[in-house]
Structure 1
Amino acid sequence: MKEGIHPEYREVVFKDMTPGIDFQFISRSTIQTKETIEFEGKEYPLVKLDTSSASHNFYTGETRIMDAEGRVDKFKKKFGARAGGKVA
């Protein structure tokens, strides 16, 4: 490999941020992070995950409501009258 053109490949801790789930694991990645965490007595870069195998309903068998509002209602609430779709 050429020197200086590849990103740093290092060990990183991935942590599931779902409330009530305490799941984290070490893997290797080139992802850039600003946060660090101490894991098993050593400091690693931290990547926060919305979902992992510990919280995804396919793996857990549980049904969780991730988004209580419908997507259309959420869009209308966010953009209101501007989302009318009429072009002047």
Structure 2
Amino acid sequence: MMQLMLRVQSTKIQRRKEDFKALFFQHRVTTNFQKIENETSSKEAWDILEKGHDVIKAEELKCSLDSHKQRLLERNKEDTST
């Protein structure tokens, strides 16, 4: 039971780290930072970017985040195989 609780907590922490990382990249590439500066999750910021004039930048960001996620997955596979 304790191991399950620790695994769930670890998963929550990992998701939160990934969300902060995504939010960081959103802040970094957004031309109108004031639109999303007070958002606390990447999903909230993403929704605002999609609705606003930064749709093209949002698509570029999505591609960038997808490639970043892929690199992380590859790195994790390498780490576990070593």
Please say whether Structure 1 and Structure 2 have the same fold, judged by a TM-score greater than 0.5.
Answer: no
Larger radius of gyration: 1
Q: Specify which structure has the higher proportion of helix.
A: 2
- The TM-score, its normalising length taken from structure 2, stands at 0.31
- The TM-score, its normalising length taken from structure 1, stands at 0.30
Q: Specify which structure has the higher proportion of strand.
A: 1
